[in-house]
Amino acid sequence: MTVETATSHTTAADAAQTAEPAVTASLSPSRAADFKTCPLLYRFRSIDRIPERPNAEQARGTLVHAVLERLFDLPAAERTPTTAAHMVTAEWTRLVAEQPELADLFDGHDATDLTGFLDSARELLDGYFRVEDPRRLEPAERESLISAVVDGQLLIRGYIDRLDVAPDGALRVVDYKTGGAPREAFEARALFQLKFYALVLWRTRGVVPAVLRLLYLKDAEACDYRPDVDELVRFERTVVALWRAIEQATAARDFRPKPSRLCAWCNHQALCPAFGGTPPPFPEQPAADAAPSPPAPPARVTRRAADTAARSIHPRPPAPPSATPPDAADGAAPPPR
C-alpha cells in the first residue's frame, strides 16, 4: 500500500497575503490637524522640527492630565476632589524634575505666580468632578498608544486619554480638554481627533466605539458623539487623501501658510511669510522617525511632546517640480489644550 503525504508549499502569493503591511509613513491626529490648519505649520513641526517651548496653558494641561491619570491608580473610594487637589503640587514637582524647562515658566517671577498656576489647575479638576464621579469608573486603559495601518502602508497612531469598556464590550473614548467648550470650528478639530482614535480601534479591534466623549473641564461640560461604520469608512478615505496631499506638498517642497485667527497662538510668526518672515531652507532629508513602528509610550510629562515626536515619515524629496500642491481641507486649531 502506498501512503501519500501532504507537503506544505508556500507560494509567493501565499507569502504576500500573510506578510505584514509595508508601512512607509505614519500620521498622528495632531499632525493631520496641523496640515488642515496650515500646511506651513505642519512643515515647521514635522519636517523642520523647530523646537517649541511650552507655555503656561500647555503646562497646565499636562499637569491636569497627569493628575487625572494617576487619580485612577488609587482605590475608588479615595478618588475625591480633595485628593485630586492635594496631588497637584506633587505632580508638578515630578513633571519639573522630568522636564526642567517647565521651571523656566516661573523663573524670576513672584512665587504667587506659581501658586496661582497650581490653583488654576485645581479649579480645572473641580470642573472634572462636576462632570464625572471617578469612584464609579474603572478605565480599561489610560494614556494608551494605539495604532493601525490603513491603505496598506499608512500607520495612524495616537494616545488616548482614557478608554472605558462596558460589561457588554462597548467602548467609550474619553478626551480631557482643559480649555472652555469651543465654538463649532474648534469642536470640529476635537472631534477629528476622536474620530481618528475611533478609526484605529475599529480597524484593530473590530468594534466601533459606542461613544466619543469630550470633557471640557473649564466649563464642566461633556460632549458625546456616536460614530457609525459608514462614517468611519468615509473618515478613513479623508485621512488617506490628507496624507497624499502631504506627500505631494513634500515632493513639491511647497507648504504654504494659511492665515487665520489661529495665527495668534502660533510660535512661528517670525519665520512665516504671512508675517514678513522667511522659512528656513527646506531640508535635503526631511526629519523622520527612525522606524515606522510605534514608539514606546513616553513618560506622562512628555505626552504632548511625544505627540509632536510621533512625526510623519517622509520620502526623500526630489528636485522641486513646477506642479502646485493640492489644497488642504479646511480646518481649525484651538489654542493650547
The pLDDT value given to residue 327: 28
Average confidence (pLDDT) per 10 residues, the chain, 337 residues = 38 47 87 95 95 90 97 98 98 95 82 88 98 97 96 95 96 93 68 95 97 95 95 97 96 95 91 96 67 38 38 33 29 35
What are the contacts of 179-185 at 24+ separation with CB within 8 A?
179/57, 179/216, 179/218, 179/334, 179/335, 179/336, 179/337, 180/216, 180/218, 180/219, 181/216, 181/218, 181/219, 181/221, 181/223, 182/216, 182/334, 185/332
The pLDDT value given to residue 333: 35
**By CB neighbour count within 10 A (0-12 exposed, 13-18 middle, 19+ buried), where does 320 fall?**
exposed
The pLDDT value given to residue 21: 60
Counting DSSP H helices and E strands in the chain, the numbers are 9, 6
C-alpha 113/C-alpha 118 separation (Å) is: 9
The pLDDT value given to residue 188: 76
Cβ pair 168, 307 in contact under 8 A: no
Q: Supply the pTM of this predicted model.
A: 0.78
C-alpha 172/C-alpha 225 separation (Å) is: 10
User: What are the sequence ranges of the domains in the chain?
Assistant: 56-136
C-alpha 222/C-alpha 226 separation (Å) is: 13
CA 183-188-192 angle, to 5 degrees, is: 150
What's the Cα-to-Cα distance from 294 to each of 56, 73, 145, rounded to whole Å? 29, 25, 8
Cβ pair 332, 186 in contact under 8 A: yes
Which amino acid belongs to residue 1? M
